[in-house]
Structure 1
Amino acid sequence: MNLRERYDAATADLEAPFAVVDLQAFRANAADLVRRAAGKPIRVASKSVRCRALLEEVLAMDGFAGIMAFTLPEALWLAEHGLSDDILVAYPTADRTALRALAADGRAAATITVMVDSTEHLDLIEECAGGRPIRVCIDIDASYRALGGKLRVGARRSPLHSPDQVRGLAEAVLKRPGFDLVGLMAYESQIAGVGDVPPGKAARGLTIRAMQKRSRLELARRRAAIVKAVRELRALEFVNGGGTGSVEKTTAERAVTEVAAGSGLYQPHLFDYYSNFQGRPAALFALPVVRRPGPGVVTCLGGGYLASGPGDEIRLPQPYLPTGLSFDANEGAGEVQTPLLGDSADLLRLGDRVWFRHTKAGELCERFEALHLIEGERHVRTVPTYRGEGRTFL
C-alpha cells in the first residue's frame, strides 16, 4: 500500500477538508531533532505545533524540555494546563492585561519567562507588575552584518547587537527590583530558517551557503562574548538559540545551552531544502475534488491557506498526493476553490482527496479545529488544535 492509499484508507470515514498528522513521521522527526541536538535539550516552539495534545506528546520524549511560546496569553494558558514548568515567551509583549495576570499568579510567574530587548519593555512590565517578581530573558540580534553594516541579513528583531549593548541592558535589569534575569536568546533566522539548497537555483545556493558560513562564525564569536559579559554580572539558567534548520550548528557552540525547534516535527515544505537534514512530511491537509472543468484539470474545494512572510510563490501550499499536480498560475490556491493541472487530474473522480502540505508548520492549525492522528493505516484519534479549543492567540 503506497502512502496515498494509506492516508485514504485511514481517513475513509472523514469528510474533507480536514487535516492529519502522521504519528510515525512525527515521532521519527522528533527523534532526528534529538539526534541532531547531540545531548543538548530542545525547547519546543509551540507556534509550530499549536496543538496541546501533540505538545504533550513531544515533551514526554527524551531530549525535549520546556516550551517556547509565541504570546504571553498563550503561555499563561499552557501554564494553567500544566504543560510545562518552563515556558519562555519568544517575543516581547505589550499586553498589559496579560502582564497583570502573570504578576498576580505566583505559579505562572515562576513558570513563565518574558522577553525584553529595551528599557521600554522593563518600564511597561514594571508598570503592570507592581514590583512583583517577573522572570526575563534578553533577546539578542543574531543578524549578519557586512560591508560596514551596509549589508544586513536576518530577521529584524532585537536592537541589541554587541556585547556592550547586551551587558548594558543586563545591568539595567539587575538594578531594578522585581526582575529576575534568567536567560539570553538569539535566533539566527538567516541560518535556521533559510534552506541552503533551493531547487533549480544552484548559484543562489552557493551564495546562501557562503553567507551562512560567515554568519555562523561571526555569531559564534559574538554570542560567546555576550554570554561571557552577562555571566560576569550573574549566573544564567539558559542560553537559547537556533531553530529546526540549524540545530546541530547551534548546539555546537559551547555558549549555547539549549536549542529551540518545532517546525521539524511537522516538516512543512519550506524545510525541504536543507543540506544538513531531511524530515518526513507529518502534517497534511486533504481537499475534496468537486469539479472536473476539462481534460487535465480538477478543482478542489477551498485551499487558500497561504503562509506568512514575503509575498512569493513559496508561500502557497504544495499539492503532494497524487504526484504530478500543480496550480493554475492565474488562480493559485483559492479561498473557495483551487484548480489543479496535470496528467494525474484525469485519474481523479469527484469526492477523491488531494493531499497538500502547508508551507509553514503551525499556521495550518489556524485553518482547522482538529487534527486527525494517523498511525499506519488507522485513524487512532482526533485532537483539537488551539483553534478547536477556542484559542486564537494571533
Structure 2
Amino acid sequence: MTLALLAQPATAESQTWSDPAAHWRAMTAAVADVSGPVAALSVPALRYNALDMLVRAGGVPIRVASKSVRVREVIDATLALPGYRGILAFTLPEALWLAETHDDVVLGYPTADRAALTRLAGDEAAAARVTLMVDDIAQLDLVDAVVPPARRATIRLAIDADASWRAPGLGHIGVYRSPVHEPGEVANLARLIADRPGFRLVGLMMYEAQIAGQGDATGSGDAVIRWMQRRSGHELLERRGAIVEAVERIAPLEFVNGGGTGSLELTASDRSVTEITAGSGLLAGHLFDGYRAFHPAPAAAFALEVVRKPAADIATVLGGGWIASGPPLASRQPAPVWPQGLTTMPREGSGEVQTPLRGEAARGLRVGDRVWFRHAKSGELSERVAEFQLVDGDRRVGAVKTYRGEGKVFL
C-alpha cells in the first residue's frame, strides 16, 4: 500500500482525528512494533488536507512548496492529484535533484551556490526545467561570474517582488524578502533582465507572509491581525495587478505565483495570479491550528518514549528538542498532544536529549509508554527523521523516506 491512496476517497471511519482519543490511540496501536522515536503520517489526514486545499484554491493551480514536506513520495503523490502543478524548491541542489523527475521546478529563493550554478549552466535539460529566483541584478552578476553567457544554457528567471504592506504610520508589516516593492522598481529590474544575454524572464512571485503565515484565530490580538490582513489584502490586490501589468509589457510571463497555505482563498481571488504555492497545509504543523478559514487534519506527528519518572506528575521522554525555525517563542516548540494535558516545564522546555512533561496525565504514564507530539512547522520535522511510518486508522501500511533518509541534506 503506497501514497497512491491519496487518490482514493476517504471514509468516515478513516477520519479519526475529530476524536482525539480515538485518533491517537489508533496511531499508537499502528506503530506499536516500531522502535522510537517514531514519526508517523496519517494517510487519510494527508488526503483530507490535500483535497481541502484544492477546494480552498477554487480552481487556481497549486504549486507544492517542497520545504514544507521534504518527502519525495508525498510530493509526487500530491502532484498526481488534478489541481496540483509544479514544485517550489528551497535550494538549487534540491531543485536540480527534483528536476531529474519533474519538469517544472521553481527555486523559491535566490542562490549563491556556485557549484550548483555550474551544474545548472552545463545541463540543457535541467536549465529547461529549473527557474531561478532573483530580486537584484547582483544575482545575475554572480551567475555570469560563475559561467559566462556564451558558455552556458539560457537561465530561466523569476522575479521575487516584495508583498509586505508598508502601512501608513506603522511601516513595514510582513517579512523582509525582496528589495523591489513598487511597480516601477519591479519593471526596472525586468528591463535589466530582458537586456542581459543568457537569461530569460518567465515568472513573478509575491509571497504575502503577513496573511498566509499569520494565524488570525490564536486568541491573542486576533482583531488587530484581521484588520491588518484586510487592509494589506486590499493594497496587495491593487499593487500586484499593477506590477504584473508593468512586467508583461517587457516580457510575457509563464506564471504569476502568490500566497501560501494560510491565504489560499484570498490569493485565488486575485485575477493577476495564475498559481498559488502551498505545502505546509499537507502535513499541518500545529502553527496552522490558529486560522479561521480552515482546519487542517493533524497528518504528521511523532512519538517519544517515556524513560523516567522524576515525580508522580512528571514523565520524561527521550529527546524532544525539535524546535521550529522563527523567533524563539513557545509557539515554536513541539506540542505534546497525547495524552492530553501534558505541558513542558517553563525552565526546560523541549530538551536536546530529554523533555520533562508535567500534568495529571503523567501520573498514568510508565517507562516505555509513548507521548505524541506535533511539530510547529511542517517540513522541518522531516529533517529529524529518516522516514515516516504510513498509518491508516490503527494499521501501519508502509513507510516513506524523508530527504534525510535518502541521504540528502540541503539546508
Residue 56 of structure 2 is aligned with which of 31, 36, 56?
36
The residue number in structure 2 matching 1:153 is 173
Q: CA deviation at 1:350?
A: 1.2
Letter in 2 for 1:325: L
Residue 5 of structure 1 is aligned with which of 6, 25, 31?
25
Letter in 1 for 2:162: D
Letter in 2 for 1:135: R
Q: CA deviation at 1:234?
A: 2.1
Q: CA deviation at 1:347?
A: 1.2
- Cα displacement string for residues 251-308 of structure 1 (whole angstroms, at most 9, x for unaligned residues): 1000000000000001110110011111000000000011111121101010000111
- Cα displacement string for residues 108-156 of structure 1 (whole angstroms, at most 9, x for unaligned residues): 10000000001101111222242130000000000111226x5111110
The residue number in structure 2 matching 1:277 is 294
**1:23 and 2:40 are equivalent in the alignment:** no
Equivalent residues of 2:130, 2:156 under 8 A apart: yes
Give the secondary-structure state (helix, strand or coil) at the position aligned to 2:382: helix
Residue 222 of structure 1 is aligned with which of 239, 248, 252?
239
Give the secondary-structure state (helix, strand or coil) at the position aligned to 1:349: coil
Q: Please give the root-mean-square deviation of Cα atoms over the aligned residues, in Å.
A: 1.0
- Which segments of structure 1 move beyond 4 Å, counting only runs of 4 or more? none
Alpha-carbon separation, structure 2, partners of 1:125 and 1:258: 27
**TM-score where L is the length of structure 2:** 0.93
The residue number in structure 2 matching 1:140 is 161
Residue 90 of structure 2 is aligned with which of 70, 84, 106?
70
**1:295 and 2:278 are equivalent in the alignment:** no
**1:128 and 2:146 are equivalent in the alignment:** yes
Alpha-carbon separation, structure 1, partners of 2:366 and 2:81: 41
Equivalent residues of 2:390, 2:398 under 8 A apart: yes
Alpha-carbon separation, structure 1, partners of 2:139 and 2:231: 32
Give the secondary-structure state (helix, strand or coil) at the position aligned to 1:2: helix
Q: CA deviation at 1:224?
A: 0.1
**TM-score where L is the length of structure 1:** 0.97
The residue number in structure 2 matching 1:316 is 333
Letter in 2 for 1:373: L
The residue number in structure 1 matching 2:111 is 93
- Cα displacement string for residues 193-222 of structure 1 (whole angstroms, at most 9, x for unaligned residues): 0001113x2xx1000000010000001100
Residue 267 of structure 1 is aligned with which of 278, 284, 293?
284
Q: How many equivalent pairs are there?
A: 388
Residue 346 of structure 1 is aligned with which of 358, 363, 370?
363
The residue number in structure 2 matching 1:57 is 77
Alpha-carbon separation, structure 2, partners of 1:161 and 1:5: 50
Alpha-carbon separation, structure 1, partners of 2:39 and 2:314: 23
Letter in 2 for 1:217: H
Q: Which stretch of the first structure deviates more once superposed, 123-132 or 207-216? A: 123-132
Letter in 1 for 2:215: G
Letter in 2 for 1:166: V
Residue 67 of structure 2 is aligned with which of 18, 22, 47?
47
Alpha-carbon separation, structure 2, partners of 1:298 and 1:165: 56
- Cα displacement string for residues 81-101 of structure 1 (whole angstroms, at most 9, x for unaligned residues): x0x210000000011111110
Give the secondary-structure state (helix, strand or coil) at the position aligned to 1:66: strand
Letter in 1 for 2:271: R
Alpha-carbon separation, structure 1, partners of 2:181 and 2:391: 45
Give the secondary-structure state (helix, strand or coil) at the position aligned to 2:118: helix
Alpha-carbon separation, structure 1, partners of 2:320 and 2:274: 40
The residue number in structure 2 matching 1:193 is 213
Alpha-carbon separation, structure 1, partners of 2:267 and 2:144: 33
Q: CA deviation at 1:378?
A: 1.3
The residue number in structure 1 matching 2:323 is 306
The residue number in structure 1 matching 2:137 is 119
Equivalent residues of 2:30, 2:396 under 8 A apart: yes
**1:110 and 2:128 are equivalent in the alignment:** yes
The residue number in structure 2 matching 1:376 is 393
Letter in 1 for 2:308: R
Alpha-carbon separation, structure 1, partners of 2:46 and 2:147: 39
Letter in 1 for 2:276: V
Letter in 2 for 1:110: A
The residue number in structure 1 matching 2:8 is none
Identity %: 54
**1:166 and 2:192 are equivalent in the alignment:** no
- Cα displacement string for residues 54-91 of structure 1 (whole angstroms, at most 9, x for unaligned residues): 111111111100000000010001112x0x21000000
The residue number in structure 2 matching 1:389 is 406
Unaligned runs of 5+ in 1: none
**1:79 and 2:96 are equivalent in the alignment:** no
Give the secondary-structure state (helix, strand or coil) at the position aligned to 2:282: helix
Give the secondary-structure state (helix, strand or coil) at the position aligned to 2:349: coil
Unaligned runs of 5+ in 2: 1-20
Alpha-carbon separation, structure 2, partners of 1:154 and 1:240: 17
The residue number in structure 2 matching 1:366 is 383
Alpha-carbon separation, structure 1, partners of 2:218 and 2:43: 28
